[in-house]
Amino acid sequence: MGVLFALLAALSAVVASRRRRRGQTRATAVIVSPPKSTVIAKDGAVRSAQMAELTLGEEDWQRLWNATNLENLARTYWRFLSRVTLGLIRVVYGENERSVVLIGRPLTLLRFDAPEYVIDRDYGSVRWQIRDGLLVARSGRGCGFLALAVTHLEGVTDGRVRVLIEVEVANFYPAIAAGFSVPAYEVTQSAIHVLVTHSFLRSLARLHLAKSKVGRFAAPHPDVRAAVARVRERVHK
């Protein structure tokens, strides 16, 4: 009996240790948006900056921090938008554009140019220029942009890395503000955008990124890399 109790105690200690390790490595996402996260200028231009601080294990950071996953993060945002609206809103991909549609065309809410990427050692961003759409005032077509930015914050504590993730809309002229009023925009479209964006930022603690539809930065298949290496060897012989 004494041996059995000893084995059970040892097993319990192992399970508890594993649970503690999982708890230590679990990612967390905390909203850190400024109190006045949405600002409307006198000419009607809107800037909204929603932010979260993501804390994750250093190994997870090293695994995720690359151009491929920056592109996947962008796809994750669009997928989240579709899921949270039960598929009513979805993204249609064109060769040089992205369209956010309600159910389908011609109900195009927002139309963007193809994304532009900036990738540095501790910073990465993807930005979509806003062309037009039902949510954009006629006078504001081609003016604003939507951007996702990831910034690696200094310092590592107990193997944990801090990352600032920001979703920014800038120089956007909402049609509802131009056609009705700024207060109407604030209590409807603006409030919904903040709510959905905060939900998206919190969801990133799961560290599950969708696979990009375009795959601009997708890593080549191992067989492809091997074939390229063989060609290079023949060239240099």
pLDDT tens-digit readout, 130-188: 999 999 999 999 999 999 999 999 877 788 999 999 999 999 999 999 999 999 999 99
Give me the pLDDT at residue 102, please: 93
Is position 235 within any domain? no
Residue 50 maps to which CATH number? 3.30.530
Q: Which of 76, 79, 78, 58 is nearest to 68 (CA)?
A: 76
Is position 219 within any domain? no
- Count of CB atoms within 10 A of residue 186's CB? 16
Give me the pLDDT at residue 14, please: 40
Is position 216 within any domain? no
Residues in Cβ contact with 174 at an 8 Å cutoff, skipping those fewer than 6 apart:
44, 46, 135, 136, 137, 140, 185, 189, 190
Which helix (H) or strand (E) segment holds residue 234: the answer is: helix 222-236
Q: Which of 215, 237, 233 is nearest to 225 (CA)?
A: 233
What band does 214 get if pLDDT is binned at 50, 70 and 90?
confident
By residue range, what is the domain housing residue 156?
A: 26-210
Q: How many domains does the chain have?
A: 1
Query: Would you call the peptide bond into 106 cis, given omega within 30 degrees of 0 as the criterion?
Result: yes
Q: Which of 9-18, 163-172, 209-218 has the lowest mean pLDDT?
A: 9-18
As a whole number, the mean pLDDT across the chain is 84
Which neighbouring-strand residues pair with 28? 55
**How many whole angstroms separate alpha carbon 180 and alpha carbon 170?**
20
In the chain, the N- to C-terminal Cα span, in Å, equals 70
Q: Please, are residues 151 and 123 in contact by the beta-carbon 8 Å criterion? A: yes
- Count of CB atoms within 10 A of residue 135's CB? 20
Is position 13 within any domain? no
Is position 10 within any domain? no
Is position 58 within any domain? yes
Instruction: Tell me the pLDDT tens digit for each residue of 67-105.
Output: 999 999 999 999 999 999 999 999 999 888 999 999 877
Is position 16 within any domain? no
Is the entire prediction scored with pTM above 0.85?
A: no
- Count of CB atoms within 10 A of residue 212's CB? 19
**How many whole angstroms separate alpha carbon 44 and alpha carbon 190?**
13
Is position 121 within any domain? yes
Give me the pLDDT at residue 224, please: 40
